[in-house]
Structure formats: structure tokens, C-alpha cells
Structure 1
Amino acid sequence: MNLPANTFKAALRSGETQIGIWCSLPDPNVAELLAGCGYDWMMLDTEHSTAGPNEVISFLRTVAPYPVSPVVRPGWNSPVEIKKLLDAGAQTLLVPYIQSAQEARSAVAAVTYPPKGVRGVSGITRATRYGTVANYATRANEEICLLVQVETREALSQLKEIAQVPGVDGVFFGPADLAASFGYPGQPSHPEIKKAILDGIGVLGDLGVPAGILSLDQDFLREAGTAGALFIAVDVDSGLLRRSAVARRAEWS
């Protein structure tokens, strides 16, 4: 069997804008519904949800028939967590809270087999299609896409160093955590935060490194896209559900 192609990674390398949706509700039915809504990618979040590897493998199976690229966020930059998600078949990971080039190198090592990395080797996993993908151990990294999340003032100060770590395929900005780090908790669209992120997107553009972002502020997302962001998450499943439910109830007030 052939190694599955990572269309999301290929699109980023080609400079194609990818519009995504955040999936935080740990239910494969929600993931399946969203998978058929026309987004280029969807985030399966295990950091700020109760989902774990068992749920992720269910999500990945559920969305596989749909033309959408699943991205998985582990709870931390942990080689143990990352190993489980990769063995489950995840090919694109967004690793949170990267503070330095050294932490980015640790994330790269976690997705890479020895001798260059520390990913544990298991030949019969969903990732290898249970041992049927020829030469998986030597070819896996061709299709693994590693995104790292910059979400603090300290990380922004080291953005160039983080982005230039070999093996990092993209850098994602987290406005909510950046706002808290800058002293504006709960204000992800504060002008200082927006400027810092837009400046950061420009820095990444100069380096040729894809930039990504999630925000519920659609005007800000359009600014980010104009600035050069390539992978843009435009909403969150739980937020969409609540806003729609509140709006429909208001119609009957």
C-alpha cells in the first residue's frame, strides 16, 4: 500500500490558502458533519477538549471519506502524546506553546524516527496501515506536517529562530493566549495583539514559512489573510452552535 499523501502539506508548500474549522466537541458525529461543509482543513483539538488518542482515531476514520485535511493538536509538546497521535494515523500536528527554537527542535524530534529523532518505532499501527505501507519508517516524514504554535510574548521575540528550525512546516498564532501574555486576557482582538500577529505574519512571509491563525474576528482574519497567512481557521464548532441557537431563539422572542 502507498504512503497516504498529505494534501494539506502540499497545499502549504504551493502557497495555497487553506480555510479551516476548529473541532473542539469530542463527538465523531460533529466531526463528520463539519467534514462535509467544504473546509480545506479541520482541527481536531485534544488540548482544550476532553478528547484523547481513542477519540482522535475515531475522528480520523470518520472524516477520511471527505475532502478535508484533519489536523490534530496534542495537549502538549510531549513525545509520548505525539507518538500516540502519529501511530493513530495523524499526519499533520499543531504542537502548542512553543517558546523557543529548542522546543521547536524537540517537537521535530518527536515526529521523526531515529537516528534523527525520538519517535518510537512500531510496525503495525493505523499509520502504517497495519504494516502494509512499504518502507513507512524511512518515508513517514515525507507526508508528516509539523505546525508549531506561538502564543506568548517570549515566543514572539524568538519567532525567526523558531520558524527556521528544520522540520517546522508552519507557525500558528494563538490570539487568545497572546492577549493574556501581553496583559489583555479575554481581548484577543486588542489592537496591540493584532499588530503583533500581523507583524509576525510578515516576518514569516519574508522567511518563506507558512503562517496560520484562529480567530472569531472575521475582519481580523481578512487582515491576516491579506498580510499573508495561509492556513486560517475561521470558526469553532461550539461557538457556531451556540450563536446559531441563540439567534434562532431571539427570532421567537
Structure 2
Amino acid sequence: MSDDTPTGRPTGSEPPSEARTTPPGTARNRLLFPVLAGVLIVLLGIAIATQVRSTGTGDALDSARPADLLVLLDNLNRREAALRQEVNTLERTLDSLRTNGSDAALAEANSRLQNLSIQLGTVAATGPGVVLTLADPHHGIGAEIVLDTIQELRAAGADTMQIAGADGTAVRIGVDSWVTGVGGNITVDDRELTAPYTVTAIGDGPTLAAALNIPGGVVDTVSRAGGTLTIEQFAQVDVPALREIEPRQYSQPGN
């Protein structure tokens, strides 16, 4: 009669000679491996859960070190200063081209100046894009979620954008824009806005919409906060809000 014992040898028979001669340390190692593997799996699960929670809350600027915030602010100020300097350089180039330059060079300089002015927010803009409506009935959409929305649109290729509150007051978003406040009432560049918020962004509509709809992205974040995000794509949207560029206190454009 055959034996169905999983070990593949008759019940009651002695183990092979190599099993009898296995050093005690090796046997203990074999017992420890599954235990260590289990501990590592548990630790890995905790780490993943912690990372997910951290990612879900966005970039908590409130918990960042003052030194890190100063570095971030300095980088933004440097970026805006570089754009301003390039605009001034182009304006001087345009003056020269109008006097003795070619039409092609003048057109190219005008185009570059227009693009940079749009980035700085000093001129109105129009083009294809999206209009977002962030409804916040439970006052759960705070500054972090609004900032995540702006950053996601930038990363997806938005050329420029503005955000408006319930009363229609619109703020043009620039390279150094900042957002603070709690759900239902935020402040963007010193201007208080109340929900619902309307964000108008110029760029490729399908790309911008897809970026916001990725799993775990802005749409999901807004939903978890008790709000709703409606995305509409248009062949043309207008961004008329302008930024007031403060005069330089110390620096001047270089040659």
C-alpha cells in the first residue's frame, strides 16, 4: 500500500543520514528565516502605510523647517528676478530693433517678450485650457489642497492661470504666489478668497484634465476632503487678472 505522507518517505522511518548530521546552528537558522521574513514584511507594511498617509496630506508646509522655507522663498524670488531681468533685456532689444532691426528679429523678440510677460502675469492671456470649480460645502479644502491643484496644473504644462473666489475676485498666479488659510476661506497673495473657488488655466485641455484625474491625484484629494472638483475643457479661456510687480529695492538689470 502506498504512503501519502507529504514528506515522500514512509511514516516512522528514520530520516536520511544528512538530516541527522545537520549542525544545530543550521537548524536554528532555518527556523529563524521565516520569523525574520515575517518581521520584515510587517515593518515594510508600516513604512508603506506611513508613506501613503504622508503623500495623501500633500506637502505640509506648516511642518517644514524655517530654513527650508527660506530656501524655497529665495529660489522663487531668484526665479522671478531672472524673468524680470530677461523682460527688461528684451524691451531694450525691441527698442534697438525698432530703430534698425529686421522684421523677423523684431517679431521673434516680441513673441519672447509676450511669453515671459504671460509667465510673470503682467499681461492678460487667452487660449485653450480648462476651468476648474472647487466646491467646499464642508470647509475641508484648505491651502494645501489648493496649492496642490496649482502645482499639478503647472507640472502638466499650464502656461498661466488665475484663481477666483465666490465673489468673483480673481488672483493671477505667478512664480512666487503663496497660499494660506483653512477650509472655506483661503488667502492667495494677500487676497482673501472664499469657496467655491474657480481656477482658470491655459494649456492643453486633455493633458491638464488627465493630470488632475490620476488615481490618488487632485480629484481624489478633494473628494476625501468632502468637496467636489468639476473640470471643463474649452477651446478658449480668458485669464484677465494681472499681477502687480513690485519695484526692485536693490537689484538692477545687468548688461
- With normalisation by structure 1, the TM-score equals 0.25
- Between 1 and 2, higher relative CO (CA 8 Å, sep ≥ 6) is seen in 2
Is the radius of gyration larger for structure 1 or structure 2? 2
TM-score normalised per structure 2: 0.25
